[in-house]
Amino acid sequence: MSIDSESDKAASLVIGPTSLGMVRIYVESEGVELPMDFEPGEALEIADELRAAATRARATAAAQMSSKQVFEDRGGAERATNHATKHATKHDRDGGRD
């Protein structure tokens, strides 16, 4: 499985300090328990990586929404053009009367 693969698996995630001054990321899923302990500096680096990934994900989502909006806008413009063309054709047929 890659980072881009979707999954329907669920997991529980808990993050907190330990009594020994470490930061623990604890993941539990379907009978698997995975405690990961990090020094505070490492945890801050992970937090920076999470923020950077969230920023990139937000930009990707915005770009997808923007291109979807452009596609929808083009469809609307095409519909408006088609409507105007039909109206002009009818107008011409009727001798300029509405």
- 16-36 in b/e form (b: 16+ CB < 10 A) is eeeeeeebeeeeeeeeeeeee
Mean pLDDT of the chain: 82
* pLDDT attached to residue 5: 85
Q: Is residue 48 part of a domain?
A: yes
Phi, psi for residue 20 in degrees, rounded to 5? -100, 10
Q: Is residue 5 part of a domain?
A: no
Q: How many domains does the chain have?
A: 1
Q: Give CA angle at 53 (2, 55), nearest 5°.
A: 140
* pLDDT attached to residue 51: 97
Q: Is residue 3 part of a domain?
A: no
* pLDDT attached to residue 79: 59
Q: Is residue 28 part of a domain?
A: yes
Q: Is residue 7 part of a domain?
A: no
Rounded Cα distance between 69 and 57, Å, is 18
DSSP SS3 for 25:
strand
pTM of the entire predicted model: 0.61
Q: Is residue 98 part of a domain?
A: no
Structure tokens at 45: 């680096």
Q: Is residue 1 part of a domain?
A: no
Domain that holds residue 68: 12-93
* pLDDT attached to residue 6: 85
Q: Is residue 6 part of a domain?
A: no
Residue range 6-32, pLDDT digits in tens:
888 899 999 999 999 999 999 999 999
Q: Which residues of the chain are under the pLDDT cut of 70?
A: 1, 68-98
